[in-house]
Amino acid sequence: MTSTLSRVPSWALVLASLAFGAIVWETVGQLGFSLIFPPLSDVMSTVYEVWTSERFRDALTNTLTTLAIGWPLSVGLGLIVGTLMGRFKVVEWALDIYVNVFLSIPLIATIPIILLLFGLGRPSIIVIVFMATFFQVVINTSSGVRAVAAQYDEMARSFGANEFQRMVRITIPGALPLMLTGIRIATGRCVRAVIFAEQIISVIGLGGLLQSYGGALRVEETWAIIIAIAIIGLTSMEIVRYLEGVMLRVFPQGHQISGA
């Protein structure tokens, strides 16, 4: 049985899983067990109506714009800070306490301060996205850098490689697997943070629509927005996963020189 399933393409298993879930959803909806789960056929007809509306397009543009600003900013700075913390003890000693403090503080507890500093609107949402993702990338990156097997760095040093050369040829390729894992986790957190912040702070974007439809008990419309958010999240994760595979093919030595 296991060998038979292993020969089935992964996309076929995904489609089969989706088809099974759709059948269960439609059945539960038709039986009327709960108003929270209307028939999937009703939801899908509402999806077309909602997704083709100007209100949805404006909300989608707002959410994607925030993601396009917040994700590169948090990931880029997270990689830089994490690399420096993992490579240099002085930087680690200086910043480690702050990273751990912000990782332990619930994000919702910082919202009043963020609102006082940045007001209502996109800047506050971007800050929340940054805080939800930046520290995750920092932790994974610094752990990956520290996990690089010391003998490879010493070997490069013995051959006269300077700090920059060791960083580019040894440290970053060796830390790449953990760095990419951190980016993948941060991507999921980024999407969740955007929706959360849009609901709480400004009631704009897809989070704002979700809040509006949910508050009005418009269940089919609420599911239409949830499905859109899920597609954005899955698409983002798959793009990152694809880029992760590309990077590991470009730097196959990453697994070899990592001490993890």
189 in the same domain as 96: yes
Question: Could you tell me the CA-to-CA distances from 159 to 43, 134, 154 in Å, in that order?
Answer: 64, 35, 9
206 in the same domain as 93: yes
58 in the same domain as 28: no
Using the predicted structure, report yes or no on whether residue 258 has a pLDDT greater than 60. Answer: no
Q: Which two tokens stand for residue 183?
A: 């980016």
Least confident of 148-152, 168-172, 242-246, 251-255: 251-255
Q: Write out pLDDT tens, residues 155-178.
A: 666 666 666 666 767 777 777 888
3-state secondary structure of 8: coil
Q: How many domains does the chain have?
A: 2
136 in the same domain as 235: yes
138 in the same domain as 228: yes
User: Nearest 5°: CA angle at 234, between 230 and 238?
Assistant: 170
Q: Which residues of 44-80 are buried (b: 16+ CB within 10 A; e: fewer)?
A: eebbeebeeeeebeebbebbeebbebbbeebbeebbe
117 in the same domain as 224: yes
77 in the same domain as 177: yes
239 in the same domain as 214: yes
In which band, very low, low, confident or very high, does the pLDDT at 237 lie, cut at 50, 70 and 90? confident
Q: Give residue 260's pLDDT.
A: 47
Helix 10-31 × helix 40-51 angle, to 10°: 110
Residue type, 229: I
Q: Write out pLDDT tens, residues 104-153.
A: 888 888 888 888 888 878 888 899 999 889 998 998 888 888 877 565 66
- The torsion defined by the Cα of 67, 73, 76 and 81, in degrees rounded to 10, comes to -130
6 in the same domain as 27: yes
Q: Which two tokens stand for residue 96?
A: 């480690």
Question: CA-to-CA distance for 135 and 194, rounded, in angstroms?
Answer: 16
Q: Does residue 12 or residue 130 have the better pLDDT?
A: 130
pTM for this entry: 0.79
Range of the domain at 3: 1-34
Q: Which two tokens stand for residue 16?
A: 């089969």
Question: CA-to-CA distance for 171 and 174, rounded, in angstroms?
Answer: 5
In which band, very low, low, confident or very high, does the pLDDT at 32 lie, cut at 50, 70 and 90? confident
93 in the same domain as 179: yes
Q: Does residue 27 or residue 203 have the better pLDDT?
A: 27
Q: Give residue 184's pLDDT.
A: 87
DSSP state of 121: S
Q: Give residue 74's pLDDT.
A: 92
CATH of residue 129's domain is 1.10.3720.10
Q: Write out pLDDT tens, residues 184-234.
A: 888 888 888 899 888 887 678 888 888 888 888 888 899 999 999 999 988
218 in the same domain as 182: yes
Q: Which two tokens stand for residue 43?
A: 């939801």
Could you tell me if 206 and 60 are in contact, meaning their C-beta atoms sit under 8 angstroms apart?
yes
Question: Could you tell me the CA-to-CA distances from 84 to 43, 81, 131, 222 in Å, in that order?
Answer: 49, 5, 19, 44
66 in the same domain as 24: no
Question: CA-to-CA distance for 57 and 59, rounded, in angstroms?
Answer: 5
Question: Could you tell me the CA-to-CA distances from 141 to 55, 77, 178 in Å, in that order?
Answer: 39, 11, 6
The mean pLDDT of the chain is 81
In which band, very low, low, confident or very high, does the pLDDT at 20 lie, cut at 50, 70 and 90? confident
Percent of the chain scored above 90 by pLDDT? 14
